[in-house]
Amino acid sequence: MAKGKSHSSAAGRTARPVVSPPAERADQAEAPADFAINARVRQVLTRRWVRTDGLEVGTTAGVVLIKGRIEREPGGLAPGGDGDAGDRFVRRLRSEIKAIPGVTDVVMEIPSAERGAR
């Protein structure tokens, strides 16, 4: 047996359960991180054929901010020539983004022709 090691002391010990610290708030533990919300927002945009390379997408404490022009990918349907169709498209995008878990609000800073209802 090596010097300083004793097998008898390890055999007499009982294992203690590992306990994780409690979360500060129950809802905080369930809310996805802002970077995960950003990824989901980009999924919604690409599913709707919106080009994301010209948009800034950011989330802070569940509030999503989208800045820039909403442009469609080639092959995607255009939001429409009239203002009503473009407004409906933006409202639909906003409601889909707001339905993402953890999103509390959606702020869109886009040109007025594409603004839609806030």
- What are the tens digits of pLDDT across the range 28-51? 556 689 999 999 999 999 999 998
- Asked if residue 16 is part of any domain, the answer here is no
Q: How many domains does the chain have?
A: 1
* CATH (domain of 39): 3.30.1340
47 lies in some domain: yes
pLDDT, one tens digit per residue, over 53-92 is 889 999 999 999 999 988 887 765 555 455 677 788 889 9
Q: Are the CB atoms for 108 and 90 separated by under 8 Å? A: yes
Q: Which two tokens stand for residue 25?
A: 């708030």
Q: Distance (Å, rounded) from C-alpha 74 to C-alpha 49?
A: 8
Cβ 74 vs Cβ 49: under 8 Å: no
Residue 101 belongs to domain spanning: 29-114
Domain assignment present for 80: yes
Distance between CA atoms of 73 and 51, rounded to whole angstroms?
A: 6
Q: What is the pTM of this model?
A: 0.63
